[in-house]
């Protein structure tokens, strides 16, 4: 018998509401959210990502039938009433991320599978939202990988080529990811990349010069800021691999490169004027171990 494709259900419990895959019980969702809140309370080192507006941690819980779920739980808490009102109108970040995952699935672009969305909302605003997705244990974000690449030129160049292909294919599919910071790119064991922060794909926009320059410029800004040892040849391999997926831009490569570098320069200047001590934190070492829920721990006893 062929495997059944999970369906989706709406749910409401404990002041939260949202959508879930029908093989993920509501109790497991609530347990995973509680476990992540514990991680967030413990601070940066207990999380995969930790910042003023959101946090992500790894949580292990049980699914229906007793199978274990290895989850990445993202907690979004809009800063200020205005943002909460905006999310009530256009959809919470978690809800938009689930829509973004569907867009990527149709385009055949790798990303973690979404398992559930939860929101706490009032009549006029979203107070918080949660996205539960599969934790890609065979992958690591670029901040964790880059220190390993400094002394490994061959692997570094392979990663640069793979990243260029990934971003090129995203744009070739007519998709614009508006937040391509390095931590939103997961390098998998097979050398391919998967995308995170999928709410940045909604609403979908076909990338033109401005959008492409922003994407490439954002990656360049992080490279200059955090990895100044990257060589010109590393950058050239990335850019050529990107153009291999966007051959129609080869004749405009000079204008695209200039616009990208100009965008990166502006972003670096903006960063220089800010106190970034409370900015988003991404552990540079090995990824965090899974936080197990009480239900999962009980199965060991």
183-231 pLDDT, tens digit each: 899 999 999 999 999 999 988 888 999 999 999 999 999 999 999 999 9
Cα angle: 280, vertex 206, 184; to 5 degrees: 20
Instruction: Give the alpha-carbon dihedral of 184, 89, 35, 74, to 10 degrees.
Output: 0
Asked whether residue 82 carries a pLDDT value surpassing 90, the answer given is no
Mean pLDDT of all residues in 270-279: 76
Give pTM, 2 decimals: 0.86
Contact status, residue 23 vs residue 63, Cβ threshold 8 Å: yes
Checking if the pLDDT of 300 tops 50, the result is no
Tokens representing 236?
């050239």
Secondary-structure breakdown of the chain: helix, strand, coil percentages, each rounded to the nearest 5? 50, 20, 30
- Bridge partners of 48, per DSSP, are none
> pLDDT digits over 33-55, tens only?
999 999 999 988 899 888 888 99
Q: Please report, rounded to a whole number, the percentage of residues in the chain having pLDDT higher than 70.
A: 88
């Amino acid at each position: 018998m062929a495997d059944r494709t999970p369906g989706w259900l709406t749910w409401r419990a404990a002041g939260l509401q949202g959508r879930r895959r029908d093989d993920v019980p509501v109790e497991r969702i609530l347990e995973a959210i509680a476990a992540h809140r514990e991680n967030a309370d413990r601070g940066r080192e207990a999380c995969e990502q930790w910042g003023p507006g959101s946090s992500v941690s790894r949580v292990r819980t049980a699914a229906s039938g007793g199978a274990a779920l290895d989850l990445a739980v993202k907690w979004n808490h809009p800063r200020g009433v205005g943002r909460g009102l905006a999310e009530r109108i256009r959809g919470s970040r978690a809800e938009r991320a689930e829509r973004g995952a569907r867009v990527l699935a149709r385009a055949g672009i790798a990303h973690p599978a979404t398992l559930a969305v939860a929101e706490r909302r009032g009549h006029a605003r979203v107070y918080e939202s949660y996205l539960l997705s599969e934790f890609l244990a065979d992958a690591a974000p670029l901040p964790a990988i880059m220190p390993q690449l400094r002394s490994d030129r061959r692997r570094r160049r392979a990663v640069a080529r793979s990243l260029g292909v990934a971003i090129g294919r995203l744009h070739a599919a007519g998709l614009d990811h508006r937040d391509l910071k390095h931590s939103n790119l997961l390098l998998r064991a097979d050398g391919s990349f998967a995308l995170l922060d999928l709410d940045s794909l909604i609403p979908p926009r076909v990338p033109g010069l401005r959008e492409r320059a922003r994407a490439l410029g954002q990656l360049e800004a992080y490279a200059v800021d955090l990895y100044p040892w990257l060589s010109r040849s590393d950058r050239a391999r990335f850019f050529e691999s990107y153009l291999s997926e966007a051959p129609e831009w080869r004749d405009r490569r000079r204008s695209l490169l200039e616009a990208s570098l100009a965008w990166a320069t502006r972003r670096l200047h903006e960063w220089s004027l800010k106190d970034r001590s409370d900015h988003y934190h991404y552990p540079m070492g090995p990824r965090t171990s899974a936080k197990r829920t009480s239900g999962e721990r009980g199965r060991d006893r």
